[in-house]
Structure 1
């Protein structure tokens, strides 16, 4: 069910509810398949019987309908893939998060100067005191990393030492890696908490289409953060193969913060200034 937390100006809304809000914003009739979602919005007090949404929700709807900047975050972890992000409108800025296995997302209003902080929180950015390893750069192929992930999926019953030994042998054979890269890469995969891909898009000022910037970062727990320099973002679907180069670079937490900041377009890059 959708809901509203007035004390924190946040909403829980699912895709079907967004579909209803899109119909209402455009002055269109709610389609039959969206009627249950419309009834849920009414039951939650977010829309009246004559389909007028509450003022607080109207700001979110306006930002979603006419976004100035869109941020998409795809996080892959042990529970699968979850989608998060942010939407910046002319009058309001919201960050949204999902929970593994849940349909609805939580939309929380934030101020534009706090956007980078909010995005860093979404990806769980924090300083664990990781130091650069003996090989701060690892270069191999996408297929080698994929083979490592597949092997790890079959090693759940093994001890950490046995899993490390088998993984090391596979990476050495499949990718031709040698020390110190081999040892570092082996432990990166063993310690991997998850990886996240952050993409920011906006209509450029020249009116010639959409500009896009992005990064992909591996969160390797005590071994720190690793920026995937190759393949470089943004990546279009179907453009990466198993033979493509994979290049990972150890990146301290301060630099990751800077990389997130650099994704956000400046006012000069946008088609029109937005309120800050």
Structure 2
């Protein structure tokens, strides 16, 4: 069920609820399969008995309907796939964050000066403690290069673990899957097995905006991907380079992971945002 918090202008909405709100705001009819979602919005007071939208929705809908920059965060972990993001409009910034097992996401306003903080919080970026405490010096020139097919074999082995394995057996099970490829050396296979065993989440963050691509008006953007390996820190997936199209991904693609500190992840987030000169106004 949708809900809202008037004191902080927060909303819990599913994709169906968002679609209905945008249709109503645009003066378009709501398709029959979405009438249940419209009734839920009416029941919680976001759509009035007269069919008008609640005034508190104005910043949210203005930004949803005419964003200047769209930032998407796709995160995959042991609880499944989650989609978060941030929409930058002319007057407002709206963040949306999903919750494992829930159909609704939380939508909330963000102070524009805190954009990077908001995005860093979405990925639980930490400068100290597990995942952020060990600087790059702890892994001199640490990098792993392999094929996507090899990595997929390790991820499949990780997904097949039941959680009841004896301590230390997880890594052996993953290493066995990695060894089937035969291209990884002993040290690299061991390190990759360690990273997979400690993997909290892999996520990619992309930004898109109206700009110029190859001298013509179009959609411009950039992105990057990170592995959060808990006590083994953050690893930047340099290859395949983001943004990467799904149809371009093949088992023989090279995957390159490089150990980075939390400061570098922060800089990558900040560099994702376009400069004013990169934007093409409507």
- For Structure 1 versus Structure 2, the TM-score category normalised by the shorter chain is over 0.9
Deviation string for 1:50-86 (max 9, x for gaps)? Answer: 2221222111111111110101111101111011101
Contact 1:192 1:218 in 2 (8 A): yes
Of the structure 1 ranges 242-251 and 40-49, higher mean CA displacement relative to structure 2 is found in 40-49
2:172 maps to what in 1?
Answer: 165
Task: State how far apart, in whole Å, the 2-side matches of 1:81 and 1:88 are.
Answer: 23
1:41 maps to what in 2?
Answer: 41
Deviation string for 1:18-77 (max 9, x for gaps)? Answer: 111121122112222222211211211112122221222111111111110101111101
Match of 1:184 among 176, 182, 191: 191
Seen in structure 2, the aligned counterparts of structure 1 residues 7 and 100 have a Cα distance that, compared at 3 Å, is: same
Match of 2:224 among 215, 218, 225: 215
Q: Runs of 4+ in structure 1 displaced over 4 angstroms?
A: none
Match of 1:225 among 234, 240, 259: 234
* 1:173 Cα offset (Å): 4.1
TM-score normalised by structure 2 residue count: 0.91
- State the SS of the aligned residue for 1:204: strand
- State the SS of the aligned residue for 1:58: helix
Task: State how far apart, in whole Å, the 2-side matches of 1:120 and 1:240 are.
Answer: 27
* 1:115 Cα offset (Å): 1.1
- In the alignment, is residue 235 of structure 1 matched against residue 239 of structure 2? no
- RMSD over aligned CA atoms reads 1.8
- In the alignment, is residue 84 of structure 1 matched against residue 93 of structure 2? no
Of the structure 1 ranges 5-14 and 162-171, higher mean CA displacement relative to structure 2 is found in 162-171
Task: State how far apart, in whole Å, the 2-side matches of 1:151 and 1:89 are.
Answer: 42
How many residue pairs are counted as aligned between the two chains? 273
Task: State how far apart, in whole Å, the 2-side matches of 1:173 and 1:35 are.
Answer: 52
Contact 2:25 2:53 in 1 (8 A): no
- In the alignment, is residue 203 of structure 1 matched against residue 210 of structure 2? yes
* 1:272 Cα offset (Å): 3.6
Of the structure 1 ranges 117-126 and 35-44, higher mean CA displacement relative to structure 2 is found in 35-44
* 1:222 Cα offset (Å): 0.4
Unaligned runs of 5+ in 1: none
* 1:134 Cα offset (Å): 4.7
Q: How does 1:17-32 map to 2 (within 5 A)?
A: 17-32=17-32
2:145 maps to what in 1?
Answer: 139
